[in-house]
Amino acid sequence: MRIRREHVIMGVKAALGAAAAIALAMLLGLEYAATAGIITVLSLMGTKRETLRIAAGRLMALLMGLGIAFVSYSLLGYSLAGFTAYLFVFAVACYACRWGYAVTLVSVLVSHFMTEGCMGAAQLLNEALLFLIGTGVGVLVNLHLRADEDAMRRHMATVDELMRAAMHALSRGSEGYTYAGQLLEALGRELTQAERLAVDNADNTFGDAPLYPIRYVQMRANQRKILAQIAHALADIDARTPQHGAVCALLARVAEAYSRDNDVSALLQAVQDVLADMRTQPLPESRAEFESRAVLYYVLLRTEDFLRLKRQFHEDYAAERSHQSKP
């Protein structure tokens, strides 16, 4: 077990938030004040938007649960049978509405009516205040959450560096294929972390979500898939053909020119130049040479796809910035 800084922060938020909710409930003279603290802990989500979404869902589930409980207790009494009937109907309805996260919390509140033996105005007000205090404190505790833009920039820089290194490794021929595979595996892990952080950052923004990091990571993830296909293809060919050297040189050029702001127009033209040159080459003299050249042709087409992804992303982002700058 490894305790990290974020684990300690969550522990502090849970403890202090619950204590504040319980203290407020006790100050108001509410019954079952400890329940407000439990609700606060259950309200602590990973992001602002998730916290608000869960809180809204629980509020709607609470209103539904109170209606079901009133009918159930009225028919079967404030007994185990009445609570069991309520819980069956309520759980089914919550799961159907995708409010499964509200079943436990609301049912704890409803169980208090069974203990009290009635659902009068005073009891309803007590449970409503427990819910509002617990949920409200949970939301307030999570208002400090901010998009971690510095961490996002570090992830994006690492993604760029790993991708550049993988292309350099592929350009070195057979001696670099194994290393390229290792780099692509590391790149996959980094992209997963970067995407998770990008989504969390978007959810921690109440205004317009920063979509650029999400789209950028998705574009790089698609490029990584293409690089993995290229690596797999290059590992199975005869590297002694002259065309192989031209393809490796092209990959090296792509790696050298790799830049977040590059619109890759020159690189796309370079791919076309190599393709045109290959078409003018004499026909292969053996089956092995034919197969190698076919694979190299495939690699060039996939390299073109790799670059077009970046070109499309660059054009879309440029158009979006232009649109946002207009009055």
Nearest to 177 by CA among 255, 110, 229, 111: 229
- Kindly state whether residues 110 and 233 are assigned to the same domain: no
The answer, yes or no, to whether residue 327 has pLDDT greater than 50, is no
| Chain segment 240-252, per-residue pLDDT in tens | 677 888 888 888 8
Q: Give the rounded percent of residues in the chain with a pLDDT score beyond 70.
A: 89
| Residue 264, token pair as written in the block | 């890759």
The reported pLDDT for the residue numbered 214 is 84
- Kindly state whether residues 157 and 136 are assigned to the same domain: no
- Kindly state whether residues 127 and 212 are assigned to the same domain: no
The reported pLDDT for the residue numbered 233 is 86
- Kindly state whether residues 17 and 73 are assigned to the same domain: yes
The answer, yes or no, to whether residue 160 has pLDDT greater than 70, is yes
- Kindly state whether residues 86 and 184 are assigned to the same domain: no
| Chain segment 285-303, per-residue pLDDT in tens | 667 777 778 888 888 999 9
Burial per residue of 166-196, b for 16 or more beta-carbon CB atoms within 10 angstroms, e otherwise: bbbbbbeeeebbeebbebbeebeebbeebbe
Q: How far is CA 294 from the centre of its chain?
A: 38
The answer, yes or no, to whether residue 274 has pLDDT greater than 50, is yes
| Chain segment 196-225, per-residue pLDDT in tens | 888 777 666 655 556 778 888 899 999 999
The answer, yes or no, to whether residue 265 has pLDDT greater than 80, is yes
The answer, yes or no, to whether residue 322 has pLDDT greater than 60, is no
Q: Secondary structure of the chain in the HEC alphabet?
A: CCCCHHHHHHHHHHHHHHHHHHHHHHHCCCCCCHHHHHHHHHCCCCCHHHHHHHHHHHHHHHHHHHHHHHHHHHHHCCCHHHHHHHHHHHHHHHHHCCCHHHHHHHHHHHHHHHHHCCCCHHHHHHHHHHHHHHHHHHHHHHCCCCCCHHHHHHHHHHHHHHHHHHHHHHHCCHHHHHHHHHHHHHHHHHHHHHHHHHHHHHHCCCCCCCHHHHHHHHHHHHHHHHHHHHHHHHCCCCCCCHHHHHHHHHHHHHHHCCCCCCCCHHHHHHHHHHHHHHHCCCCCCCHHHHHHHHHHHHHHHHHHHHHHHHHHHHHHHHHHHHHHHCC
Q: Which of 114, 142, 170 is the last residue of a domain?
A: 142
Q: Which of 142, 166, 195 is the last residue of a domain?
A: 142
- Kindly state whether residues 197 and 169 are assigned to the same domain: yes
Residue 319 pLDDT level (bands cut at 50, 70, 90):
low
| Chain segment 80-131, per-residue pLDDT in tens | 999 999 999 999 999 999 999 899 999 999 999 999 999 999 999 999 999 9
The reported pLDDT for the residue numbered 148 is 64
Please tell me the total count of domains within the chain. Answer: 2
Model pTM greater than 0.85? no
- Kindly state whether residues 110 and 162 are assigned to the same domain: no
Domain with residue 265: its CATH number is 1.20.120.940
- Kindly state whether residues 45 and 180 are assigned to the same domain: no
- Kindly state whether residues 63 and 162 are assigned to the same domain: no
The reported pLDDT for the residue numbered 131 is 95
- Kindly state whether residues 48 and 195 are assigned to the same domain: no
Q: How far apart are CA 175 and CA 250, in angstroms?
A: 17
Q: Which amino acid is at 111?
A: S
- Kindly state whether residues 302 and 154 are assigned to the same domain: yes
| Chain segment 41-64, per-residue pLDDT in tens | 988 876 777 778 888 899 999 999
Residue 259 pLDDT level (bands cut at 50, 70, 90):
confident
| Chain segment 74-86, per-residue pLDDT in tens | 999 999 999 999 9
What is the rounded average pLDDT for all residues in the chain? 84
The reported pLDDT for the residue numbered 326 is 39
The reported pLDDT for the residue numbered 203 is 66
* Enclosing domain of residue 170: 149-325
Q: Which of 142, 159, 181 is the last residue of a domain?
A: 142
- Kindly state whether residues 175 and 313 are assigned to the same domain: yes
